[in-house]
Amino acid sequence: MTDLKVAAAQFAVSDDWHTNIDQILPLIARAESDGIDLLVLPEGVLVRFMGEKERIRYASQPLDGPFITELRAATHGLRVTVVLGIHEKTDAERPFNTLVALRGGEIVHLYRKTHLYDAFDARESDNILAADVVPELLEVNGFQVGLMTCYDVRFPELARLLAVKGADVIVLPAAWAKGPSKEFHWSTLVSARALDNTVYVVASGESGATCIGRSMIVDPLGIPIVQALAGPEMITATISRSRLDAARSSLPVLANRRFDVDPTPRALAGASVSSVPSSVSL
């Protein structure tokens, strides 16, 4: 494939997972109707996790729970690949913050968040387990796609590891909290990760009372192709193999790099790191 049609959709996540299903299903149907190859939805769309953050402990669901089961059914027979974030119930007290990729009624890929948002007076690690596995790549119509979640974008080594693995595109579901200069942080970091690694970045940000929205699709030279505002919206773009190749030819940062990134995980300050096998049985 020489082109890939991508979309990033944003909406305000509800406290009720049934309501969130009702918001997601039309987005999937619209993406399929529009010929979208890859639809990226925000982080944590199972239930809203701002405010009473402990809710995600008891509102989380396993991968075979009703939320993902219903979404799997919705993608059955469709060609679009859908990436979204949920809080995945585990045998431990805390869930994982997990990205799930769905295609043709199946789970085709998983990524469990590695960098937890213990910043700006927030402590995601109080309620979430951190994984320590660099995600593998997801193939979508001949393009190699890497996955990161929200706060991960502040850590350039993860994006570099994905690019070195061969990523053409990085998807970034997020629930980027509002705050002083946060829109600037978001737009700068998303564009920087694209430019650092000459990859496309498809970033979906939750909208609503506590999050900025501002979904973006950025090209391999860090130039935003299309950007959303703060409200519910779907943005689309066509990713071009020739544009990717031209960017890497004129700016060969991957070929010119002098140092490799060590993927050995470090323990979180004040929280344990939980190992996740690199090959997950679905």
Give the residue-averaged pLDDT of 41-49: 92
User: What does pLDDT average to over the chain?
Assistant: 93
Task: State what percent of residues in the chain have pLDDT above 70.
Answer: 93
- Check 88, 113, 206, 211 and give the catalytic one: 113
User: What domains sit in the chain, N to C, each tagged with a CATH number?
Assistant: 3-251 (3.60.110.10)
Q: Name the catalytic one among 5, 150, 206, 211.
A: 150
The per-residue pLDDT for range 165-216, each reduced to its tens digit, is: 999 999 999 999 999 999 999 999 999 999 999 999 999 999 999 999 999 9
pLDDT of 69-97, one tens digit each? 999 999 999 999 999 999 999 998 899 99
Burial 238-253 (b: 16+ CB within 10 A, else e): ebbeebbeebbeeeee
- Which among 43, 88, 124, 206 is annotated as catalytic? 43
pLDDT band at 275 (very low <50, low <70, confident <90, very high): very low
The residues, any chain, with a CB within 8 Å of residue 64's CB and separated by 6 or more, are: none
pLDDT over threshold 90, residue 49: no
Please answer whether residues 218 and 199 qualify as being in contact, where contact means their C-beta atoms are separated by less than 8 angstroms: no
Active-site residue, 211 included: no
In the residue annotation, 165 being an active-site residue is answered as no
Question: Residue 179: its pLDDT value, please?
Answer: 95
pLDDT in tens, 112-138: 999 999 999 999 999 999 999 998 999
Decide if 107 contacts 282 (C-beta within 8 A): yes
